[in-house]
């Protein structure tokens, strides 16, 4: 599966102030990760347009951005609801970590039997740990993304799991 150069990292949910400020919902590990970016991209059709970040700060669980070229509330209003992207080269992650975008679509495989159980269709963050949504022959199932169940993630081979009996019933 080809890796996308641009990764979703948040969504513009509102304006902030009258000088073109934007309020974003962060989809990064922390709002600080999003606020640390020096440039972001907005998609326009098949193109990704670069916007330099003039100023960014964290406010509660949100990120406030000021972007070059957006200096009034009317322009900022047109961006509400848009997804903000980062170039994967601009985000540093640990060597053993991965981007969620890179594991969506991987096969989920039972470690003991080698049987394909389904395909990872989404990663949900609802609190204590992420939940992996697995598309199976019997519909979508959820697996907590914890070491007790997720034994190995190999970006080439798939996600190897060890589940308790009845977990996918």
Q: Same domain, yes or no, for 48 and 69?
A: yes
Percent of the chain with pLDDT over 70: 99
Whether 163 is in a domain gets the answer: no
Structural domain count of the chain: 2
Q: Does 122 fall in a domain?
A: yes
Q: Say yes or no: 60 and 111 in one domain.
A: no
- The candidate with the shortest Cα–Cα distance to 80, out of 140, 20, 34, 27, is 20
With respect to residue 80, please indicate whether it lies within any of the assigned structural domains.
Answer: yes
Can you tell me whether residue 35 is helix, strand or coil? Answer: helix
> Could you tell me if 29 and 54 lie in one domain?
yes
Statement to judge: residues 63 and 115 lie in one domain: no
Residue 2: the pLDDT is 60
> Is residue 85 domain-shared with residue 106, that is, in the same domain?
no
In a domain, 111, yes or no: yes
Q: Is residue 130 part of a domain?
A: yes
Q: In this predicted model, what pLDDT tens digit does every residue of 32-59 receive, in sequence order? A: 999 999 999 999 889 999 999 999 999 9
Whether the per-residue pLDDT at 1 is higher than 60: the answer is no
Instruction: Give pLDDT, residue 93.
Output: 85
pLDDT on residue 32: 95
Tell me which residue range forms the domain holding 83. 6-90
Tally of CB atoms within 10 A around 137: 8
Distance separating alpha carbons of residues 167 and 148, to the nearest angstrom: 13
pTM for this structure?
0.81
Same domain, 74 and 16: yes
Is 84's pLDDT higher than 90? yes
Round to whole Å and give the CA distance between 152 and 106: 12
Tokens of 85: 């992207």
Token pair in block for residue 127: 């609190």
Residues 73 and 134 in one domain: no
Report how far residue 29's alpha carbon sits from residue 36's, in angstroms, rounded to the nearest whole number.
Answer: 12
d(CA 110, CA 108): 7
Element (H or E) spanning 56, and its range? strand 47-59
What per-residue confidence (pLDDT) applies to 125? 82
CA-to-CA dists, residue 24 to 21, 51, 62, 112, angstroms: 10, 15, 6, 43
Quick check: is 165 in a domain?
A: no
Same domain? For 86 and 12 the reply is yes
With respect to residue 164, please indicate whether it lies within any of the assigned structural domains: no
């Amino acid at each position: 599966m080809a890796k996308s150069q641009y990764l979703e990292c948040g969504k513009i949910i509102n304006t902030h102030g009258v000088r073109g400020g934007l309020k974003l919902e962060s989809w990064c590990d922390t709002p600080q990760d999003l606020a640390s970016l020096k440039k972001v991209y907005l998609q326009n059709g098949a193109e990704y347009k670069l916007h330099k970040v003039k100023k960014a700060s964290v406010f509660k669980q949100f990120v406030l951005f000021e972007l070059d070229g957006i200096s009034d509330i009317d322009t900022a209003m047109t961006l509400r609801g848009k997804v903000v992207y980062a170039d994967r080269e601009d985000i540093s992650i640990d060597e053993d970590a991965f981007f969620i975008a890179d594991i969506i679509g991987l096969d989920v495989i039972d470690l003991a039997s080698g049987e394909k159980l389904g395909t990872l269709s989404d990663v949900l963050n609802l609190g204590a740990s992420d939940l992996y949504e697995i598309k199976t022959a019997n519909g979508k199932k959820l697996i907590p993304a914890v070491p007790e169940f997720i034994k190995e993630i190999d970006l080439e081979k798939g996600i190897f799991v060890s589940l308790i009996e009845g977990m996918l019933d």
